[in-house]
Amino acid sequence: MTTTKRLGVEASPREHERNPGTTLDLGWVQEARINKSAVERRAATLITRRTVKKDWQAAWLLRAITCIDLTTLAGDDTPSNVQRLCAKARQPVRADLLEAIGVANLPVKVGAVCVYHNLIPAAVEALRGSGIPVAAVSTGFPAAQNPLRLKIEEIKESVAAGAAEIDVVISRAHVLRGEWSALYDEVAAFREACGTAHLKVILATGELGTLRHVSQASRVSMMAGADFIKTSTGKESVNATLQFGLVMTRDIREYRDRTGYEVGFKPAGGIRTAKGALDWLILMKEELGLSWTRSILFRIGASALLTDIERQLSHHLTGRYASDRYHPMP
């Protein structure tokens, strides 16, 4: 089998029915029960019992690239460095490497470019004609401590500026205080403000206290209409872990079984190595199936990850690790 067939990059992703949300079922929220020891064992053994090598590994790494939300959320971001990031998003792997692997004819590009609100116009212009959506962080990212009215206005302004995806942050206090109706109303308001833009709901899992809280917040967010649920802002002391991922993906699976709607998943924060990206893809395949290894239902929020993946692809071809200067990031 060729690497092209193993990769399976779709020229045009299939149409996907968005999650419209449901009425709030507090019974399902309260039913959430997490066996922490079992979650830890499963997370520890998952990546030791499953591995991919040689051409298969190259194919999976290329798949991982297509699922990256290439992100810059720094205080010194400028239109020029966002333009450079967008150029990398369009051509994430050197053309000579793609040709040597045998996939030069495939549309290998990242899943989205994620920026702050004020840099949306620069990203939209730089990505014009590429088919790569612009995602914007919103709702007082990362702390979400501003008033709901301002959060909603921020979403609307980002959509008007051209963002096709909005990454919102929930009010952690609603989770910590068990205010599930308030959380539901907040996320539902975010969904309405997004209009046709896809809503990615950041739970900030490292700040929710318990795995049960992570599960409950996941369930409420999906019932309120989240298109994706996302682990972290990347700014917390604890960000994406496989334990959080297991809890959230199993809630996604249960929500699909209950409603028929598929919700996407996005880990973010601390995912910097090709091996880490493969671990997350293995988790998605094992827990949710192959549909959740494509960008329509799976994203990885990252910035430095792409450099290591490109180095691993170079190693696959040459048997040597190239210096980072051969795989520059903006």
- By annotation, the residues acting in catalysis are 167, 230, 266
DSSP line for 124-139: HHHHTTS-PPEEEE-S
Give the HSE-up count for residue 254: Cα atoms under 13 Å, Cβ half-sphere: 17
290 burial (CB, 10 Å; 0-12 / 13-18 / 19+) is: exposed
Contact between 114 and 15 (Cβ < 8 Å):
no
Cα gap 133→108, rounded to integer Å:
14
- Which residue, among 295, 278, 286, has the nearest Cα to 10 in the 3D structure? 295
Residues with Cβ within 8 Å of 194's Cβ and at least 6 positions away in sequence, in order, are: 155, 159, 166
Place of tokens 């609603």: 174
Give ∠ CA 15-21-23 in degrees, rounded to 5: 155
Residues with Cβ within 8 Å of 223's Cβ and at least 6 positions away in sequence, in order, are: 21, 22, 23, 24, 25, 28, 184, 255
H or E segment and range at residue 168: strand 165-169
CB atoms within 10 A of CB 320: 8
Amino acid in position 241: T
> Which residues on adjacent β-strands are paired with residue 115?
136
